Structure 1
Amino acid sequence: TAFLRLWGALAELPSEGRDAVKAHIHRLKPLRTAVEERLVDAVDHLSDADPRTRSLLAYACARLGYDGAAACQLLATLCGELQMSMRSAAQEPWWPLYVWSLAELGLELDFAREGAETFIQERYNGDEVTASVDE
């Protein structure tokens, strides 16, 4: 949808631009309400989308500092779905963005810690880490 494209583009602005967007969202209640309504629609629309797509939406929310109810619901739902498949999910290119999003918004921190550890273990097995340290 147009909103998702715009939201993603805003999330990719340089830090000064993102800071301005954050300030407007947090200062202007009508804007915050409109963003929340669009995110509710987007989360509902993406409810059966793959974890990558939903993780990228969560990442955009985190980059813009948006922790409204829809963003929190999205992240919590993904945590529940990914808990049992963390080892395989941690090998996906979007996984670090998802874990960062949780940490950035201060949500599901135990899951975020476990997810970061799993990513490091899966990405850098013990032999590679030991070899790098020994060199």
Structure 2
Amino acid sequence: MRIIIQRVQHASVKVENNITGKINHGLLVLVGFEPDDNKEDFEWISKKIVQLRIFGDDNGVMNLDIKQVNGEILVVSQFTLHAATKKGNRPSYIRASKPEEAKIQYNTFLNVLKNHIDSDIQTGIFGADMKVELLNDGPVTIFIDSRNKE
């Protein structure tokens, strides 16, 4: 499981010109799955998301987590996080979960993440052609792969 977290001043996702998810100050989380990803990966990643101290405190030091700043979360599925680019110029997505499996993983992950945060989680629509807008704050962008837990 791979995620990219971006600290944002605001972010939204549209499908067919309709906003499906929108947040103000918080985290935009792009998430991609592999066939072997399981609930253990979802738990580990969820804890990372809510416990990462990447928001500034009164001294401007990144020392606060999403809960401490009453931030919001927008989660968008993105299989392209598993792009293999070693050979040729067309990325291969052979490592990404197949859509049917990834949709189940995505929904399970959202449920696990909801157990770790008190606020609502905004989302895109799995498998849709989505347009994501954001204003990265910092910029702060962090890549996490559940295969690198240790």
- Whether TM-score is above 0.5 comes out as no
Give 1 or 2 for the bigger CA radius of gyration: 1
TM-score, scaled to structure 2: 0.25
More strand by share: 2
Greater relative contact order (Cα < 8 A, sep 6+): 2
